[in-house]
Amino acid sequence: MPAITSGRVLVTGANGYIAVWIVKSLLDAGFAVRGTVRAESKATYLRKLFQSFGDKLEVVVVPDMTKEDAFAEHVQDVDAIAHTASPFHMNAVEPDEIIGPAVAGTLSVLKAAHVHGAVVKRVIVLSSTAALFRTTTEPVVLDESAWNEQAIAEVKEKGRDASAVAKYRASKTLAERAAWEWYEEKKKAGVLGWDLVVLNPPFVYGPILHECDRPENLNQSMRDWYRLIVEGKIDNDTLVTGGAMYVDVRDIAQAHTLALLKPEAGDNRFIISAGPYKWQDFASAAHRFDDKLPAGVTSYDPSKATHLLQYDNRKAIDVLGITYRSIDEVTNDSLQDFKARGWL
Ligand code: NDP
């Protein structure tokens, strides 16, 4: 596919934490954006936030993305699609409560692009490193060939008794796998006019742009960050041993725009990860920027921390040309944002 440098992009779940930054990145790059939300009440804030872009932003209501033809009329005149809408929570009782909409929503978007997207050139699916993750007792670096078979197996074996995080990880793994299987079959048949890109970020942190009235209503990842780093609701052991990999929300948003601009991105999944962290890394930075925030474990030495599971982020650097914000930038900008909201 040639580079997509102008035109209109459909963004599903446009009111979400990451999606609003994606919309901003696309508008800043000169694209027109059509965002989908589940209810008209979620459109007002978005229209106001981006009012300086005039009619470059349109917000439409898709009440149930899993319904046949849910996106039919909205994909007809778009050059590309970024699919972000997917449940991200730890409240599912039956696994299918979260897996069902994740898989059906993704397939619904791809099918709409195929049947009705006359000028679509590229579809980007926002997956997660949850679709690659595995628990490990040995150091391991996963690249884009990895798949999270563990979460699928746990959910299959334990059903509703599987851990909440396994149900979420299975939802991301199965949705992404369904996307690739459907895509490969159509591609083989030579019936697609567009190509697929999948982006796999780990935990996404950083300032918020979406509508949110109080910290308890933050999205899953920033709610955790706020509770642990701002409220200090974390014990010393978890501060220095607990952690994962992170990426700044503005960088995963930018990755979506870069994925349109780079022709060679097509047919690829990309890990979009800045690097590993222990919670103490964020706590140390937060305390440096605001000494009223908990210092945590002051004897912590980041150079001695072990990160058993890591993700290889080179492919996105090489192909997309992405750059990553540091833990200090994520922390400082998040704290500034919270201060401006009176949450600190
Ligand atoms: P948010 O909860 O802020 O946004 C989720 C979006 O998906 C909202 O627009 C929400 O709509 C929509 N959505 C949820 N369930 C459904 C459904 N059943 N039908 C239609 N729309 C639905 O989450 P994030 O911005 O954090 O996450 C966005 C995407 O990024 C998800 O796919 C998530 O898996 C992925 N991701 C997030 C990471 C993170 O750390 N935040 C890390 C890796 C991947 P509504 O507001 O109406 O509920």
Q: Which atom of ligand 1 is nearest to the CA of 38?
A: 47
- As a whole number of angstroms, the distance between CA 68 and CA 222 comes to 33
Q: Where are the beta strands (DSSP E) in the chain?
A: 8-12, 32-37, 57-61, 80-83, 122-126, 140-142, 195-200, 203-205, 243-248, 268-271, 275-278, 309-311
Q: In this predicted structure, what is the pLDDT of residue 325?
A: 98
User: How many whole angstroms separate alpha carbon 111 and alpha carbon 100?
Assistant: 16
197 burial via Cβ count (<10 Å: 0-12, 13-18, 19+):
buried
Evaluate whether 266 touches 319 at the Cβ level (below 8 Å): no
- Give the per-residue pLDDT at 93: 96
Per-chain mean pLDDT for the chain: 97
Please give the structure tokens belonging to residue 331: 């922390």
pLDDT in the model for residue 68: 87
pLDDT digits (tens, 9 = 90+) for 174-232: 999 999 999 999 999 999 999 999 999 999 999 999 999 999 999 999 999 999 999 99
Residues 6+ away with beta carbon under 8 Å from 103 = 171, 174, 175, 178
Average pLDDT over residues 242-251: 98
- The β-bridge partners of 8 are 32
Laid out side by side, the sheet with 203-205 consists of 203-205, 243-248, 275-278
**Which 3 state secondary structure label does DSSP give 65?**
coil
Specify the pLDDT at position 35.
98
Rounded to an integer, the average pLDDT of 269-277 is 98
pLDDT of residue 29: 98
Q: Are 33 and 58 in contact (CB under 8 A)?
A: yes
What count of other Cβ atoms lies within 10 Å of the Cβ of residue 262? 18
CA–centroid distance, residue 301 to ligand 1 (Å):
35
Q: Which atom of ligand 1 is nearest the CA belonging to 15?
A: 9
Model confidence pLDDT, tens digit, residues 137-187: 999 999 999 999 999 999 999 999 999 999 999 999 999 999 999 999 999
CA atoms within 13 A on the CB side of 25: 21
Distance 126 CA to ligand 1 centre (A): 10
What would the pLDDT profile of 295-313 be if each residue is shown by its tens digit?
A: 999 999 999 999 999 999 9
The atom number, within ligand 1, closest to the CA of 203 reads 40
What is the position in ligand 1's atom list of the atom closest to the CA of 101? 18
115: pLDDT confidence band, cut at 50, 70 and 90? Answer: very high
Task: Kindly report the backbone phi and psi dihedral angles of residue 211, in degrees, each rounded to the nearest multiple of 5, phi listed first.
Answer: -70, 120
pLDDT on residue 217 = 98
pLDDT tens-digit profile of 35-66? 999 999 999 999 999 999 999 999 999 999 99
* Ligand 1 interacting residues, C-beta cut-off 6 A: 13, 15-19, 38, 42, 65, 84-88, 101, 105, 126, 128, 172, 201, 203-204, 219, 221
Residues 4, 329, 316, 27: what is their CA dihedral angle, to the nearest 10 degrees? -10
Is residue 120 within 8 Å of residue 194, measured between CB atoms? yes
Query: Residue 5: pLDDT band by 50, 70, 90 thresholds?
Result: very high
Q: How confident is the model at residue 284 (pLDDT cuts 50, 70, 90)?
A: very high
pLDDT for the residue numbered 333: 98
Task: Give yes or no for a contact between 70 and 108, defined as CB atoms under 8 angstroms apart.
Answer: yes
Q: Is 304 helix (H, G, I), strand (E, B) or coil?
A: helix
Structure tokens at 317: 């650097």
Q: Counting atoms of ligand 1 from 1, which one is nearest the CA of 66? A: 19
Look at ligand 1, atom 1, and give the residue with the nearest C-alpha. 16
Q: Which residue has the tokens 């159509």?
A: 186
DSSP 247: E
CA of 210 relative to ligand 1 center, distance in Å:
12
Express as a percent the part of the chain with pLDDT over 70: 100
Ligand 1 centroid distance, CA of 190 (Å):
32
Of all helices (H) and strands (E), which one includes residue 142? strand 140-142
Q: Reply yes or no on whether the pLDDT at 2 is more than 90.
A: no
Ligand 1 center from residue 217 Cα (angstroms): 13
Rounded to the nearest angstrom, the distance between the alpha carbon of 282 and the centre of ligand 1 is 24
Report whether pLDDT(1) > 90. Answer: no
Structure tokens at 25: 């990145």
3-state secondary structure of 97: helix
Gyration radius of the chain over CA positions: 20
Distance CA 168, CA 181 (A): 20
Eight-class DSSP state of 22: H
